[in-house]
Amino acid sequence: MKLTLGFSPCPNDTFIFDALIHHKIDTEGLDFEVLFDDVETLNQKALRAELDITKLSFHAFAYVAHQYALLDAGSALGFGVGPLLISKKYTPETLQAELAKENHNLKIGIPGKYTTANFLLGIAYPGLQNKQEMVFSEIEDALLNEQIDLGLIIHENRFTYQDKGLTKIVDLGDYWEKQTGCAIPLGGIVINRTLDRAVQLKVNRLIRQSVEYAFAHPKSGIDFIKAHAQAMEESVMYKHIELYVNQYSINLGAEGRKAIDTLFTLAQERNIIPVVQENLYI
């Protein structure tokens, strides 16, 4: 049986899925047609229900929970892993002064409407409404070229922005942790609810095994990870993996589910996402 599988070319995803798609583990008769896309493109594909299995932002998941169920394996949650709001021209203090002006029109580059990063930005800075959607990897350059005033960065950019002379305004992951005490839920792996229950459970089991294999053989997928990490230095690549792949990637567990449930509750209370009727999990 062949299933379509979408995930990003970022090191955390390629690290997780290497053993699965290259048959380093027994895939129990399943094959996977892999599609690589940035997270917001994957979110959009999920909205159209194009893939059998896909990575997506938890923000986007709220809009497709009727179609997809969340797997316990493969998610990206953690502490100290949140998106950063950065700038070239502002500091935290000067930004507050600008926000106090009644008619400010600050332009913010965001990595996608349905990203969890944008959800957190809306909670922390509801007054920032002039948002421009961009591919996450283009936000730093847009700041440097003064096309935008503020940038919301995710993934490996949190390791590179300072080298380019950019300033951190706030770590939205830290903001979330202080508000809730929970790990920050960034992205998860969902599976189409129309697939047989046995297939859903098998895919979950295989992704868990793939993560466990990656932890046991961390250099096994180095060529595959490098091939998709573009010009990223190997040290940055492994910092990225260490930050986003952890025990929650093996199994959400009670704490991981609590973090996701808290995210959905807060978002629903603020009318940022629709009320979800379905059970989120497989």
Show which residues are catalytic.
Answer: 155
Does the annotation place 142 within a ligand binding site?
no
pLDDT of 81 over the 90 cut:
no
Identify residue 255 by its one-letter amino acid code: E
**CA 268 to each of CA 3, 63, 119, 232: distance values in angstroms, whole numbers, following the listed order:** 32, 12, 11, 37
Domain end (from 154, 180, 206) = 180
Over residues 144-153, the mean pLDDT reads 96
* Predicted model pTM: 0.87
> Is residue 281 domain-resident?
no
Question: Is the confidence at residue 231, as pLDDT, over 70?
Answer: no
Give the lowest-confidence range in 109-113, 146-150, 235-239, 274-278: 235-239
CB 243 within 8 Å of CB 81:
yes
Whether residue 55 is found in the same domain as residue 173:
no
Mean pLDDT, residues 40-44: 93
In terms of residue numbers, what domain contains 69? 2-77+185-269
Residue 157: predicted pLDDT = 79
88 located within any domain: yes
Instruction: Judge if 225 and 263 occupy the same domain.
Output: yes
Residue 274 lies in a domain: no
The band of 230, judged by pLDDT with boundaries at 50, 70 and 90, is confident
Same-domain status, 154 and 36: no
| pLDDT (0 to 100) of residue 143 | 97
Are 97 and 173 in a shared domain? yes
Token pair 């995210």: residue = 263
- Domain tally, the chain: 2
Q: Per the annotation, does 226 bind a ligand?
A: no
Over the chain, what HEC string results?
Answer: CEEEEEECCCHHHHHHHHHHHCCCCCCCCCEEEEEECCHHHHHHHHHCCCCCEEEEEHHHHHHHCCCEEECCCCCEEECCCCCEEEECCCCHHHHHHHHCCCCCCCEEEECCCCCHHHHHHHHHCCCCCEEEECCHHHHHHHHHCCCCCEEEECHHHHHCCHHHCCEEEEEHHHHHHHHHCCCEEEEEEEEECCCCHHHHHHHHHHHHHHHHHHHHCCCCCHHHHHHHCCCCCHHHHHHHHHHHCCHHHHCCHHHHHHHHHHHHHHHHHCCCCCCCCCCCEC
User: Residue 179 pLDDT more than 80?
Assistant: yes
Residue 8 has pLDDT above 70, yes or no: yes
Q: Is residue 146 part of a domain?
A: yes
The verdict on whether residue 57 carries a ligand-binding annotation is yes
Q: Tell me, yes or no, whether 277 lies in a domain.
A: no
- Worst-scoring range by mean pLDDT, 82-96, 160-174, 181-195, 230-244? 230-244
> How big is the chain, counted in residues?
282
Assess whether 262 and 192 both reside in one domain.
Answer: yes
On whether residue 276 sits in a domain, the answer given is no
Q: Is 117 annotated as a binding residue?
A: yes
Same domain, 103 and 58: no
Q: Based on the domain organization, do 176 and 189 belong to the same domain? A: no
Does the pLDDT at position 227 exceed 90?
A: yes
Residue 4's pLDDT is 98
Question: Are residues 189 and 175 part of one domain?
Answer: no
In terms of domains, do 16 and 132 share one?
no
Mean pLDDT calculated for residue range 133-159: 91
Which of 138, 160, 180 finishes a domain? 180
- Known binder of ligand: residue 55? yes
Structural domain contains residue 282? no
148 with 171, same domain?
yes
- Chain segment 113-144, per-residue pLDDT in tens: 888 889 889 888 888 999 999 988 899 999 99
The reply to whether 165 falls in a domain is yes
Mean pLDDT of the chain, nearest integer = 93
Are both 41 and 89 inside the same structural domain?
A: no
Q: How far is CA 128 from CA 16, 80, 106, 122, 141, in A?
A: 35, 23, 7, 7, 20
Pairing between β-strand 68-70 and β-strand 167-171 as defined by DSSP bridges: unpaired
* Nearest C-alpha neighbor of 226 from the set 5, 15, 7: 15
Average pLDDT on 103-119 reads 90
Query: What CATH number has the domain bearing residue 8?
Result: 3.40.190.10
Dist CA 207 CA 282 (whole Å): 14
pLDDT band at 234 (very low <50, low <70, confident <90, very high): confident
Among the candidates 157, 180, 203, a domain finishes at 180
- If asked whether residues 164 and 195 sit together in one domain, one would say no
- pLDDT for res 102: 79
HSE-up (13 A, CA, CB side) for residue 272 = 24
Residue 50 has pLDDT above 80, yes or no: yes
